[in-house]
Structures are given as C-alpha cells and as structure tokens.
Structure 1
Amino acid sequence: MIIIYGIKETLNPIKATLSDVIHASLVAVLGLPEDKRIQRFMPMDADNFYYPSDRSAQYTIIEINMMEGRTIETKKALIKHLFTSIESTLGIKPIDVEITIHEQPKHCWGFRGITGDEANTLSYKVDV
C-alpha cells in the first residue's frame, strides 16, 4: 500500500499522473502486476503540513508499505526510479520528494482471508 501526502492545492491537480508514475515504477522495479494499484492520497491543508524551509509547496511524501523480502538493491532501485520518473514527468525536483519504505513480516499482512505468509498464489514475486 502506498500513501502519498502533500499540500492539497499542489497535490490534487497531479494525483492521477503521480499515481501513474508511482505505479509504473512499482511494475518496472518490483514486477507488480498492472492491475495491482493500491494507493491512498492524503491531500492536506497547508497549515497542517509542515516541511523544511528549503523545500517548495511541491514537497511530497511517499510512504511505501510492503511485505519483507525485497533486496536492498531492489529497494534502492525503486527509490531512484521514483525520483527520476517524478522529476521527468511532473517536474518535481528530488529535493521536494521524500520516500520511505516500511517493511513488515509476511505474517503481519492480511488479504484475501489469509496472512501474507500463507499466500502461495500471488501473481508476482515478493523475494526480488
């Protein structure tokens, strides 16, 4: 699951494109299926979104929640792919984007009535 935070006046107009960019990165780097898009946008009032003084109103936070299993190299490749794609598509400089990856053990995920460690019919690999 991906959660995206930003100032609503800046984030709302680009949500659809940013969603496409993020999803394309997940497909390209992690091998997620095209139909596996789980994103939540959290557009915020400017007075509730504090950020460093050297950032612009385009400042965007992307939190990526996923089951553990990807290598360090894969996670770094995803972060770098996102920075590059966001800048080339939306013109948002890397200084205005912060990305965190939160990994949880597979048994801490629940979907389709089972836990992640019980899932053996996923259409994509977690250990990449």
Structure 2
Amino acid sequence: MGQVKIYGVQEPLRAIRNALSDVIHSCVVDALQFPPNKREHRFFYLEPDDFFMPEGRTENYIIIEILMIEGRTIETKKKLINLLFERINQQIGLAMADIEICILESPAYQWGFRGKTGDEAAINYKINV
C-alpha cells in the first residue's frame, strides 16, 4: 500500500500537476515494483502566504510525502528518493533545492482497505523489496 501527498504553492503546482504525477508514479513503479495501475496521489495547493519554506527555495518548492506499509529495504527507499530527485529535476525542471521528500511507514496492521486490515488483505505486489 502506498499513498503520495504533494504540497506546493497553488499556481506553480497546478501547472505541473499531471506531468509531476506521471513522473512520481514512474519512480514508484520502478523502485517499489508497484503495479502500473496503482496510483494514489493527492495534491495540496497552498496560497503563498500559507506555505512557509526554508530560505533559498522558490515558488516551485514542493514537499512529497509517501505513506506506505513498512517492509522495504533501505536500498529500495534510497532508490525511490534518488529516482524522484533525478526524474523531477530532468523531466519537470524543478531545482533539487525545490524538492523535499519524506517516506513515512507503518505496520500493515495499521492500514485498512477493502474491508480488512493491511496484514489480512490480499495484495497483488511485493512489499519486501
């Protein structure tokens, strides 16, 4: 199970939303071996006055939070982060300083979907990659 939240200033983020979603999804499929039809992205558009950011960032600054069931190796999570930096920079044109990524994990039993807890539900992809 994995869900992605993307936060950014409304106007610049809306302008790249579809392309950014495609890039993020390609990274998740490649690094985490998710099925291509499994995409759960939510965009949070903020007014400039509501999005405080570190010095040296531009209006293109985004924060990506990835929520997922624990079980991936450190190498797999680093691969995902590195792919995100590389592809977002190359394909979308965002500066590395304008991209922040955080992976948040929790045990399968703390997830609920399709009427079951995550440790009881049948999942058609591997968690331990």
Shorter-chain TM band: over 0.9
| TM-score normalized by the length of structure 1 | 0.97
Which SS does the other structure have where 2:6 is aligned?
Answer: strand
**Consecutive unaligned residues in structure 2, runs of 5 or more:** none
Q: CA shift at 1:63, angstroms?
A: 0.2
Q: 2:126 — aligned with what?
A: 125
2:106 corresponding residue in structure 1? 104
- The secondary structure found in structure 1 opposite 2:63 is strand
Q: Give the TM-score normalised by the residue count of structure 2.
A: 0.96
**Partner of residue 52 from structure 1, selected from 47, 54, 62:** 54
Question: Is the counterpart of residue 94 in structure 1 residue 104 in structure 2?
Answer: no
State the secondary structure of the residue aligned to 2:68.
Answer: strand
Structure 1 vs Structure 2 CA RMSD: 0.6
State whether structure 2 residue 46 is matched by structure 1 residue 41. no
Question: How far apart are 1:52 and its partner, in Å?
Answer: 1.0
Matched with 2:34 is 32
Unpaired runs of at least 5, structure 1:
none
Q: Aligned partners of 2:124 and 2:15: how far apart in 1? A: 32
Identity %: 50
Q: What SS is found at the alignment partner of 1:64?
A: strand
Equivalent residue of 1:52, what SS? coil
Cα offset, 1:34, TM superposition: 0.8
- 2:15 equivalent in structure 1: 13
